[in-house]
Structure 1
Amino acid sequence: MSDSKNRYFMETEIFSQPNLIDSSINNRISFDNSTLLFPEIENSKLNVLSISRIIFTGMGTSYNAALYGAKVMEEIAKIPSIALNASEISSDNFFSNDEILLVSITQSGESSDTVEMMKKARSNGVLQILVSESNKSKACNISDIYLPINSGIEHSIAATKTFTMSLLLLLQLSIFFAEKKSIFISHYIKEIKKIPLGLADFINDKKVINNIKEISKYISNYNNIFYLGRGKLFPVVLEGSLKLKETSYIHSEGYISEELRHGTFALLDKNIPVIICATDDENYEKNLSMIKDLVSLKSPVIAILNEGEKKLSKMTNKTLFIPKSSNISIPFFSTLVFQLLAYYVSLKLGNNPDLPRNLSKIIKNS
């Protein structure tokens, strides 16, 4: 249990995120100079200009954050990047290049697969950044540079604020690397500044919360569900799917939208709803085509859409609108939506979202 205001820690931690994001942004960005502040890197031997490739890694929620990190690093800083599950990195060949940077993400710093992979990288002389909540961990002892998530202790086993704050830190890191490469970043700083207030207004809107609760009630009637998203939204839908599995015990899978056509369409019918995150305007026609196909297969469609989008909303069974915003802001709105959906579905089914069955968590102070 959490406190007198909220029934569970998970709820408290979800609603704390706008303030945490605001604090992190103010600590990491000098708005007067339009520059990013990473003294941990400035005072290290890392030369951003010498990096030829970045490997992001983690497990579970941290792996989903790693996927996001690789995507934003390539998009913003133009550095070739890849995300790999820590348990799958078994060959020294991954670390054969002196110009590789390894970015490991682990909330506790104690994830055994991540720690073992970091040891392997260290034995190959690879420079390492650790993204973690704890600076008193096995992972921190191995890393060259420690970047704190700054989410505070997360009591609920189902990660929420540690995931969101990891996304923010990886976004800020990407902008910092872009700045070091003399890439224009002012527009990113302008947009990132809007995120905290936008999120606060969004999750404190009673109409939004009531709509999420209504959709959660709808979802709770099903035993299987798919989540779809593209680009930077793919890691977010993976995490949304994971949250639903963890807290509600409903079988759920996240897919890159078009990948659903390759075999998985055979499973779809009126008993399997699909949540599609269709807020990326650059893929509007593809999202439209996918929704049409889902409707033709009689699969219930729940769409996350930009505010004011009428054409797509008329085709779906349920719709949840998020404020129309920049590409760097949308993943944060979508993340909060999926966290709240999982939380309210869990409550509807009579579960304790803080203590999912068969799961445990290491909590360490900084």
Structure 2
Amino acid sequence: MCGIFAYLNCNVKRERSYILQVLFNGLRRLEYRGYDSAGISIDSSSVSLPPLVFRKEGNIESLVKSVYQEVDATDLNLEESFLTHAGIAHTRWATHGEPAPRNSHPQSSGAGNEFLVVHNGVITNYEVLKQTLIRHGFSFESDTDTEVIPKLAKYVFDKSNEDSGDMAVTFSQVVLEVMRHLEGAYALIFKSRHYPNELIACKRGSPLLLGVKELREDSSKGSLFHDDKYPSQNGNPRELFLSSDANALVEHTRKVLVIEDGEVVHLKDGGVSILKFDGDKGKRGGLLSRPASVQRALSVLEMEVEQINKGNYEHYMQKEIHEQPESLTTTMRGRLIRGGTCKAKTVLLGGLKDHLKTIRRSRRIVFIGCGTSYNAALAARPILEELSGIPVTMEIASDLLDRQGPIYREDTAVFVSQSGETADTLHALEYALQNGALCVGITNTVGSVIARKTHCGVHINAGAEIGVASTKAYTSQIVVMAMLALAIGGDAISNQARREAIIDCLFDLPNKVREVLKLDQEMKDLAKLLIAEQSLLMFGRGYNYATALEGSLKVKEVALMHSEGILAGEMKHGPLALVDESLPIVVIATHDACFSKQQSVIQQLHARKGRLIVMCSRGDAAAVSLGGACSRVIEVPQVEDCLQPVVNIVPLQLLAYHLTVLRGYNVDQPRNLAKSVTTE
């Protein structure tokens, strides 16, 4: 996972200082995607001079400080204006090589920076390419897989100019030939001193968007898209942006194009040409063969700048925890139907309506996800089994692939991913498609790979989530899967009362979450008691086994404290050996079918002097405290059992947040983690 960003101004004067700020701000919006090192490239004062490259380990502010120090040392003129200028930027989450300037991007073709590349993804055959390039005289400075790409571009450029004589090779031809040799997942942006004021972007698997900002009222009359052979010369003033994520575009423009896999997007003369990469055609036709250009319509971002700002909150995670009443409302808007006097309450999921009959005929439903998304699916499994009567199995995406577990044509495979680009989940999707299963996507990202490649799906519509630790996306995922269960369950008379009770509870769920958020100070006080602890156990069962897993994951990933979620029914099969008077233990014992069993768990833990923190339904404190044996009782509102995980996770999110802040760690950028894992 990395963030890539580019900015090209065409026929509008921009000072170097302005260009730098656009690039820096773009990286700030993408920093949740990686923050161990960063870099940018801008032009020198003359196109005859190599582009300038700045790279630095650490966060974006470390890069900004380093750039301005270098500017001062070299007397670079920040007030110099450019009518047209192309700059690229990158923020890194290390996969190949430690965080260091030499491993940061942009990666270069060598002395003179003839070709520069920023990259998100992994090149799986880079070792073979590297050895081939070494045999052709190239030397390597970094440990990255990315460095082979600009060096390969230089090799292709030099070789093609030797072979083609007077016929100059185009930038897009160079990139198409480079793509033909690359294996793996990637989003790439190329900059070259041989093609000044041009940029080329391409992708396979990793996300990439183009943003377009018109700077003159009548500029819409001119063409944006053009054929690469006949570039546009209309002179319209425009700013063009490339980004891994819409977050970095929304403050500039809402007109975007989601770049598809295999597309090569060439920005030149203020216009855009899109070529469709065809590896086989390149092999048959040679280097100078050229695929046909395509034109696609721009779409409008349904996002506001306010969504990606912290507002009055100290951190994004804090903001996103407190946004959950609104995100849940948005998730359900237009999908819950109360019905009238003659009409039953029901759910309408437009993305699934044409496939519901097929899903109901499935032999089984397979939930596939990773991390928090897997936990959300686990929380929803019982209600789906109850209402549909279809067996539901759970698969961690990487494990499914490692085992090559059986997926059948009669199966429905549900892929749960907040970003829609999680690498293991994408590979599992390809595997399920090959095996003929009906594939359903549940994501928070319109236009993501999972949203495009599945047969049908649901957008959870939780809004932008910047904090690395997922909060509001998790609760919205559970709600969407509960609605999925209602939709699949149909209108069986035997389940009507149960379905209507769940729908009524869904309507009131945002208010219940608002009530839980009032526990903020109580959870901060609890965090103060736990600040010096080394470990924390969480026991749950039934619907709330997933709550124990997700709560412990939150503590683990942001507070950097060992925490384990345990199925309470397994307590006596090993975990009980860990219990003593020094170990804090959270037991989730809200009032559902497992309540009496959790009371028994509390008694057994108390008998072994465990330090108990019990979460219970409002009014049940006396029933779970065993005459004051618990060190803390957390009371939450009672809702329908299948939706209780949405309510119960909120105090644990608050606990993880306050533990992290009190322990002095970066809550939005936890150590070694990034928002979405696009590498295996």
Fold in common (TM above 0.5): yes
Partner of 1:218: 529
Structure 1 residues 110, 23: closer, same or farther in 2, change over 3 A? closer
Q: What are the within-5 Å matches in structure 2 for residues 248-267 of structure 1?
A: 248-267=559-578
Q: Which amino acid aligns with 1:12?
A: K
Q: What are the within-5 Å matches in structure 2 for residues 279-290 of structure 1?
A: 279-290=590-601
1:53-85 CA distances to partner (integer Å, 9 max, x unpaired)?
Answer: 100010111111121232221123222101110
- Please point out which of 366, 385, 393 is paired with 1:74: 385
Q: What are the within-5 Å matches in structure 2 for residues 1-366 of structure 1?
A: 3-32=310-339, 33=343, 34-44=345-355, 47-90=358-401, 94-96=406-408, 98-179=409-490, 183-184=495-496, 185-203=499-517, 205=518, 208-309=519-620, 310-313=622-625, 314-362=628-676
SS in 2 for 1:305: strand
Normalized per residue, the structure richer in helix is 1
- Whole-Å separation in 1 of the counterparts to 2:332 and 2:377: 20
Quote the sequence identity (%).
Answer: 28
SS in 1 for 2:310: coil
Shift of 1:4: 4.7
SS in 2 for 1:227: strand
Normalized per residue, the structure richer in strand is 2
CA contact (8 A) 2:370 2:396 kept: yes
Shift of 1:117: 0.8
Shift of 1:325: 2.8
TM-score (norm 2): 0.51
CA contact (8 A) 1:153 1:363 kept: no
Q: Which amino acid aligns with 1:95?
A: I
Structure 1 residues 363, 136: closer, same or farther in 2, change over 3 A? farther
- The alignment yields a C-alpha RMSD, in angstroms, of 2.0
Could you tell me which runs of 5 or more consecutive residues in structure 1 were left unpaired when the two chains were aligned. none
- Whole-Å separation in 2 of the counterparts to 1:3 and 1:40: 32
Of residues 214-223 and 335-344 in structure 1, the stretch that sits farther from structure 2 once superposed is 214-223
Q: Which amino acid aligns with 1:22?
A: T
Give the ranges of 4+ consecutive aligned residues of structure 1 lying more than 6 Å apart after TM superposition.
Answer: none
Of residues 241-250 and 287-296 in structure 1, the stretch that sits farther from structure 2 once superposed is 287-296
Shift of 1:106: 0.8
CA contact (8 A) 2:591 2:638 kept: no
The count of residues paired between Structure 1 and Structure 2 equals 360
CA contact (8 A) 1:67 1:82 kept: no
- Whole-Å separation in 1 of the counterparts to 2:472 and 2:632: 26
SS in 2 for 1:359: coil
Structure 1 residues 45, 302: closer, same or farther in 2, change over 3 A? closer
- Whole-Å separation in 2 of the counterparts to 1:128 and 1:95: 11
- Whole-Å separation in 1 of the counterparts to 2:618 and 2:370: 34
SS in 1 for 2:665: coil
- Whole-Å separation in 2 of the counterparts to 1:257 and 1:108: 31
- Whole-Å separation in 2 of the counterparts to 1:65 and 1:99: 24
- Whole-Å separation in 2 of the counterparts to 1:154 and 1:277: 27
Structure 1 residues 35, 153: closer, same or farther in 2, change over 3 A? same
Greater relative contact order (CA < 8 Å, ≥ 6 in sequence): 1
- Whole-Å separation in 2 of the counterparts to 1:21 and 1:285: 30
1:76-115 CA distances to partner (integer Å, 9 max, x unpaired)?
Answer: 322210111011113555213x321000001111111111
Structure 1 residues 143, 4: closer, same or farther in 2, change over 3 A? closer
- Whole-Å separation in 1 of the counterparts to 2:330 and 2:452: 26
Q: Which amino acid aligns with 2:419?
A: S
Q: If you compute each CA radius of gyration, which structure gives the higher value, 1 or 2? A: 2
- Whole-Å separation in 2 of the counterparts to 1:147 and 1:334: 24
Shift of 1:316: 0.7
- Whole-Å separation in 1 of the counterparts to 2:539 and 2:356: 40
- Whole-Å separation in 2 of the counterparts to 1:254 and 1:45: 34
- Whole-Å separation in 2 of the counterparts to 1:124 and 1:276: 41
1:6-46 CA distances to partner (integer Å, 9 max, x unpaired)?
Answer: 10000110111111112222321111241111121113475
- Whole-Å separation in 1 of the counterparts to 2:321 and 2:516: 12
Structure 1 residues 142, 255: closer, same or farther in 2, change over 3 A? same
- Whole-Å separation in 1 of the counterparts to 2:371 and 2:515: 29
Q: Which amino acid aligns with 2:616?
A: L
TM-score (norm 1): 0.93
Could you tell me which runs of 5 or more consecutive residues in structure 2 were left unpaired when the two chains were aligned. 1-307
